[in-house]
Amino acid sequence: MLAAAPRITDAPAIPPGPSRLRVLDLLRFCAALGVVLFHFGETRAWGTPNAFPALSMVTVFGVYGVRLFFLISGFVILMSAWGRAPGHFAASRIARLFPAYWASVLVLGGLALGGLVTDHRPSLPELLANVTMLQHGFGVRDLEIVYWTLWQELVFYALVACLAAVRITYRRCLAFMGAWVLLLAVADRVNADLLQAVLVPFGAPYFIAGMALFLVHRFGGSLFPWLFVGVGWSLGLYTALSEEPPAVRRFGQALGSALVAGVISLIFLVMILVAVGAFDRIAWRWLTVLGALTYPLYLFHHHVGFLLIRWLHPVLGSRLTLPLAVAAVLVVAYGVHRLVERPLQPRMRAALDRSLAADAGRVPPAETAAVSPVSSMPAPMSASVAAPVSAPVSASVAAPVSAPVSAPVSAAVSPPAPYVEKTTPGASYLPRGG
């Protein structure tokens, strides 16, 4: 299968065009804003399920912003992991995700414990499990409903780190995606819980398609990556239409299914245009600010918005409360970015990088003990090597020497010098991730 792939260099990938695809920042912000509007339009805080009958016909599709997140993540995470050791990749992801996440757990958990809840009041064990971001794996309830996507992302990062451990190349990416698709089918067939947990069937079609689109972006549009884009699109539509989406309940089976298929196809089309460079001219610097707001906006919007809507709409009415709630969660996101992410992310990243190289230049005592007896042996006399021989050497030499010998004869008169392992600081003791 992979033999038909084009011959591609295994050098680390450097994407063509601008060093940062700012259009992805815009798309991430649009995806987050879609999720915000979906939650604000459907929230129970209004006291009625039909607070915005006309607007909700559009905002109901904001739920598919999560699919766009996953598609962008497949593209960006493969790009950031290429050429990196798994340790440095893990350090970059931890520093990127955890500062704002911990802030959300502390703030929103404190509000919930104080009685300002959106759904239920968490227990202390639930809060402690949520601090790790692994609560979904432990079967513990998420503190916030939006946290469920973080488990999907974490599993994807772990899979990419495993790929980075064997060094990411074009062909290995193709093999990785092919194995993932095949195992998805096997896991669904045999109903294997372990495989289901590792393969994240909900996000997998979008992660796979995003990775394939990065290969298109980096190496050009050869057949294999496009096949994986098509597989991701097909599986994405299959899973979306199998779960009875909200649009089907709103518009009916025929029209709702067609609209869902159209929205997901539009998401794929936009990312295809990104991959082929159609949006490379969109490089406005302010888009980076929007991209920076995306993650804290996603983490905080549901809880903060729910409380604001519940407090304000009886006084101000629905039409005024909605834009105020959206503006408020944007301000909160900006505050979290400036006060939490900007100061903590670089410090955490630097600390993690230092931790990866903590053993550099330090020889473990056991290795020192093994080397010291060898290094204490006397070295062969240099004179016996360099001086010419004017007499018969010894019985071990087969032929008599009748003339000065200019070549060294240390191999005949003494054993070779013992091998001593180099212990130059930093030369041989960097960890695998360093």
Residue, of 388 and 92, whose pLDDT is higher:
92
**How buried is 396 (Cβ within 10 angstroms: 0-12 exposed, 13-18 middle, 19+ buried)?**
exposed
CA dihedral 49, 53, 55, 57 (to 10 degrees): 90
Q: Is the pLDDT of residue 13 over 90?
A: no
CA distances from 93 to 61, 234, 289, 394 (A): 29, 29, 19, 68
SS3 of 163, please? helix
Mean pLDDT, residues 375-387: 43
**Token digits of residue 425:** 């600081």
Mean pLDDT, residues 119-133: 91
Q: How far apart are CA 291 and CA 96, in angstroms?
A: 13
> What confidence tens digit (pLDDT) does each residue in 309-353 have?
999 999 999 999 999 999 999 999 999 999 999 999 999 999 999
Question: What integer best gives the mean pLDDT of the chain?
Answer: 82
CA dihedral 163, 433, 81, 94 (to 10 degrees): 110
SS3 of 379, please? coil
Query: What pLDDT shows up at residue 362?
Result: 67
Mean pLDDT, residues 150-165: 96
Q: How far apart are CA 138 and CA 253, in angstroms?
A: 36
Question: Which residues, in sequence order, are CB contacts of 50 under 8 Å at separation 6+?
Answer: 56
pTM of the model: 0.79
Q: Is the pLDDT of residue 258 over 60?
A: yes
- 257, 248 Cβ separation under 8 angstroms: yes
Mean pLDDT, residues 245-250: 85
Q: Is the pLDDT of residue 425 over 90?
A: no
Residue, of 171 and 113, whose pLDDT is higher:
171
Q: Is the pLDDT of residue 221 over 80?
A: yes
Mean pLDDT, residues 5-15: 43
Query: What pLDDT shows up at residue 372?
Result: 47
- 89, 80 Cβ separation under 8 angstroms: yes
Q: Is the pLDDT of residue 10 over 60?
A: no
Q: How far apart are CA 122 and CA 141, in angstroms?
A: 9
Query: What pLDDT shows up at residue 384?
Result: 40
**Token digits of residue 61:** 């599709």
Q: Which helix (H) or strand (E) holds 272?
A: helix 253-275
Query: What pLDDT shows up at residue 92?
Result: 95
Q: How far apart are CA 210 and CA 229, in angstroms?
A: 8
Q: Is the pLDDT of residue 8 over 50?
A: no
Residue, of 422 and 37, whose pLDDT is higher:
37
Q: Which helix (H) or strand (E) holds 24?
A: helix 22-42
Question: Which residues, in sequence order, are CB contacts of 309 under 8 Å at separation 6+?
Answer: 40, 43, 45, 46, 321, 322, 325
Reported as a pLDDT band with limits 50, 70 and 90, residue 409 is very low
Q: How far apart are CA 58 and CA 46, in angstroms?
A: 18
The CA-CA-CA angle for residues 138, 146, 25, to 5°, reads: 125
Query: What pLDDT shows up at residue 196?
Result: 84
- 157, 205 Cβ separation under 8 angstroms: no
Q: How far apart are CA 313 and CA 311, in angstroms?
A: 6
Mean pLDDT, residues 82-96: 94
Helices (H), 61-201: 65-81, 86-113, 124-131, 148-165, 170-190, 193-199
Q: Is the pLDDT of residue 307 over 70?
A: yes
Structure letter (DSSP) for residue 285: T
**Token digits of residue 8:** 């591609």
Comparing CA positions, the residue from 16, 7, 162 lying closest to residue 77 is: 162
DSSP codes of every residue in 107-135: HHHHHHHTT--SS----HHHHHHHHTT-T
